[in-house]
Chains A and B, each alone.
Chain A
């Protein structure tokens, strides 16, 4: 949905290089999340944010860091990419008021994803 964008949409990088993925929202939702999606595992939470500069770890946070300097942007950084981090990464948001994405405040809304390949 246009209310959540992710960049880049595709990236190929080499082992050991740093990578930063960006999630941008225009919905003013308080909570933002980073998930990775792998076959047989569904979606697994990496990190989440509950406000500007407020973040916490999810179940698969090792090797990842995040930052949120303003409400609309949530960055995911792989400090030194490894082949095990090849995945599709999704950003999600929740906790907003009525907006273009819908009226539900109890639902996570997902971005279009970033496909990352680490060679």
Chain B
């Protein structure tokens, strides 16, 4: 049973455009929602994260929008650059002390074309 659904599977955006990736979750016990960025041959790296008591978080060109009632959250990449070309994973986790039970989305492969 997939608890975090991510779309689209792949995305092509022109340089300077806005990239939008959407995720939906089912378990209301999730208390932390990170986004990971993964380049080919590398491990996933934390990009930005949000907690459910906040509706939006912005860090540079990256923004998470969070809708608790709809159980949906999305990543917006403003002014997309070729260097943003990577696979993005949304995730939802339940945190207990330092332990996280993390459920990942299936990933979105983003290609930003010049």
Residues in B neighbouring A110, C-beta threshold 8 A: 36, 43-45
Contact indicator A90/B44 (Cβ below 8 Å): yes
Q: How many A-B residue pairs have CB under 8 A?
A: 60
- Using C-beta atoms within 8 Å of the partner chain, give the interface range for chain B: 20 to 34
Min CB–CB distance A110 → chain B (angstroms): 3
Residues in B neighbouring A105, C-beta threshold 8 A: 98
Residues in A neighbouring B52, C-beta threshold 8 A: none
Min CB–CB distance B57 → chain A (angstroms): 14
Contact indicator B34/A107 (Cβ below 8 Å): yes
Residues in B neighbouring A102, C-beta threshold 8 A: 46
Residues in B neighbouring A31, C-beta threshold 8 A: 98-100
Contact indicator B89/A42 (Cβ below 8 Å): yes
Q: Considering the complex, which residues of chain B in the window 35-50 have a beta carbon less than 8 Å from any beta carbon of chain A? A: 36, 41-46, 49
Contact indicator A111/B89 (Cβ below 8 Å): no
A106 within 8 A of B: yes
A50 within 8 A of B: yes
